[in-house]
Structure formats: structure tokens, C-alpha cells
Amino acid sequence: MSRYFRAKIRENLPLNRNHKLLTLETSSPENEPLPGQFYMLGVNRGGYDPLLKRAFSLFRKTSDGFQILYRIKGKGTSLLGGMKEGDMIDMIGPLGRSYPVPETGRTPLVIAGGVGMASVFSLIESIPERSYVFYGAKSKDELFMLDELGALSKGLYISTDDGSLGKKGNIAGVLEDFWGRKHETEDQYLIYACGPKPLLGLIARTASSHSIQAFVSLEEQMACGIGACLGCAVRVKSPVSVLQGSEQDFIYRKVCKDGPVFDAAEILW
């Protein structure tokens, strides 16, 4: 089944100076996205610059399409930010591995750093009142959907780098503080996370120290989204093998095809 389609912009809503929420209408309901999957969007308005599509996580499904939360950072996202209601976008998706559904009896801890909330919001929405949510950003102006997150979660924990809302500092520190106030035993928890790679590395080490399984969504530059270009390869652990007389204890996986969601214990941080 082809995953190429065209979508119409219903709204391109500014959330602050650098972030927007894109609402798209699609006539391809057979390609229903799952939490953690992503789309490749063409942002060149029918031209050739930029030539390559850009990868964006599913933020939330709607009755006739879906939404994408994005940050305006470079040329591609600046072009996307200038698109209007009624404009058409060439798309490929949904792509990639989704977050595994938490088993009954497990309590998800969902962690988002900055625009990483774009990846985990639909997961939180799919398991209402089951998860504790940890959400960190540079400042309170870069935290979104707080009322919705509070209603959807068992508890919402906030941090900001500048201390403008919640605890001052990194959200990984808030997660560490959580263990002293936890309600369940550690083997009941399951971690899901998306954000900058240094944050995900901290979370992976925290999860390992508490013997908790963690799933992370990696953010890498993607040129194709289907595993053809090899531009998003990451090193993951492998059984030790002998290759031309030397030991190799890692292999490469493609974030777009084998991920973007991985078991955190697999990644060589």
C-alpha cells in the first residue's frame, strides 16, 4: 500500500513566536497513525527547494485527519510556518515503529523534553488517567497543552531551565525526585520518553538503575523516511561477534525504519 498522499491545511496556529500547531485534513483514513509514528512533509510549495521532505511526529489524531506540533528552526520549518489554510501538502506516512501499548497493571511514566511532547502527546491521550507525565522546557512559554495534560494524566510534573514554571532545572532531575514519592512498586512502572539525546541518555541510565524498561523516541535527521538513504543510522548493542579478527559489539539500526521508538537499553549512548 502506498503511503504517499496529499493533505489540506485546516489551520496553522501560532502557539508562541517559534512554535505552531498544524491541523491537517486527509482523505486517507486507511493509514491510521499510531502514537510514536511520524510523517515526511514536503515544504517546498511545488518547487525543488528544499528538495527533501521533513520528518514530523504525529501529535494528535482528529476526526478527519491529524495534528503536528513543530518548532520553527530552519528553512524548511520557516516555509511550513508560512503556509495557510487551504494549502495542500505532499506527505508520506505514517512511518516508523510506534510506542508499545502498556500492559494492564503497568503505570507509564511519560517524559517529554521541549518539542518532544509532539511525539508522546498522542500516547498520553490513548491511555487516559494511567500515566504520570514529566514535561520540561527552557521556559514556561515553551510548555503547551498543560490543562489537557493535567486532565489526561494521573499527575503532571513540570520543570523549566529558567525556573519560570515548576521546578528549576532538568526534567530528569524531577524524575529522580519522583522515586521518593512513588505510589506503585518499581516493577509496575514503564517509561516512555522523547527529547534531546542527552536527556534520553540520562533517562536510560535512570531506568537502568531502577531496573525499569524504557522506550525512547530518537530524533535524527532523515532524508527519506523509509530506510533507503542510511542518513539516520544509530549504533545499538549487539552480541559480540568476530569480524576480520576483531570484536564488534555493536550494529547499526535506522531510526526511520527500525525506530524511531527503541528500547533504551539497546542504544549505545
- The pTM (predicted TM-score) of the whole model is 0.91
Is residue 146 within 8 Å of residue 20, measured between CB atoms?
A: no
pLDDT (average), residues 44-65: 84
CB 215 within 8 A of CB 108: no
Of 118-127, 174-183, 203-212, which one has max mean pLDDT? 118-127
Q: Please, are residues 51 and 114 in contact by the beta-carbon 8 Å criterion?
A: no
Fold agreement between 4-95 and 107-219: no
| Strand arrangement, sheet containing 214-217 | 167-168, 155-160, 132-137, 107-113, 189-194, 214-217, 261-263
- Region 81-93: what's the mean pLDDT? 94
Backbone dihedral angles phi then psi of residue 157, each to the nearest 5 degrees: -115, 130
**Burial environment of residue 172 by CB neighbours within 10 A (0 to 12, 13 to 18, 19 or more):** buried
> How large is the average pLDDT for residues 231-239?
85
Query: Is it the case that residue 30 has pLDDT exceeding 90?
Result: no
Three-class SS of 182-214 = CCCCHHHEEEEEECCHHHHHHHHHHHHHCCCCE
pLDDT tens digits, residue range 111-160? 999 999 999 999 999 999 999 999 999 999 999 999 999 999 999 999 99
Cell of 251: 550494529
Q: Quick one: cell of 180?
A: 521518593
Give Cβ neighbours of residue 106 (< 8 Å, ≥ 6 apart): 188, 189, 190
Cα 83 to the center of its chain, rounded Å: 23
Cell of 230: 542510511
Q: CA-CA distance, 9 to 22, in Å (whole number)?
A: 7
Given a cut of 60, whether residue 246 has pLDDT beyond it is no
pLDDT at 220: 81
Is the peptide bond prior to 260 cis by the omega test (within 30 degrees of 0)?
yes
Question: Range with the lowest mean pLDDT among 9-23, 141-155, 246-260?
Answer: 246-260
> Phi and psi (nearest 5°) for 141?
-70, -15
Q: Which residues contact 213 (CB under 8 A, 6 or more apart)?
A: 190, 191, 207, 263, 265
The yes-or-no verdict on residue 264 having pLDDT over 90 is yes
Distance CA 138, CA 43 (A): 27
* 107-219 CATH: 3.40.50.80
Which CATH number applies to 4-95: 2.60.40.420, 3.20.20.150, 1.10.10.1100, 2.40.30.10? Answer: 2.40.30.10
Residue 242 has what pLDDT?
45
Among 183, 186, 182, which residue's Cα sits nearest to residue 174?
Answer: 182
Choice between 226 and 78, residue whose per-residue pLDDT is larger: 78
pLDDT number for residue 9: 97
Kindly list the domain boundaries of the chain, sorted by start residue.
Answer: 4-95, 107-219, 222-257
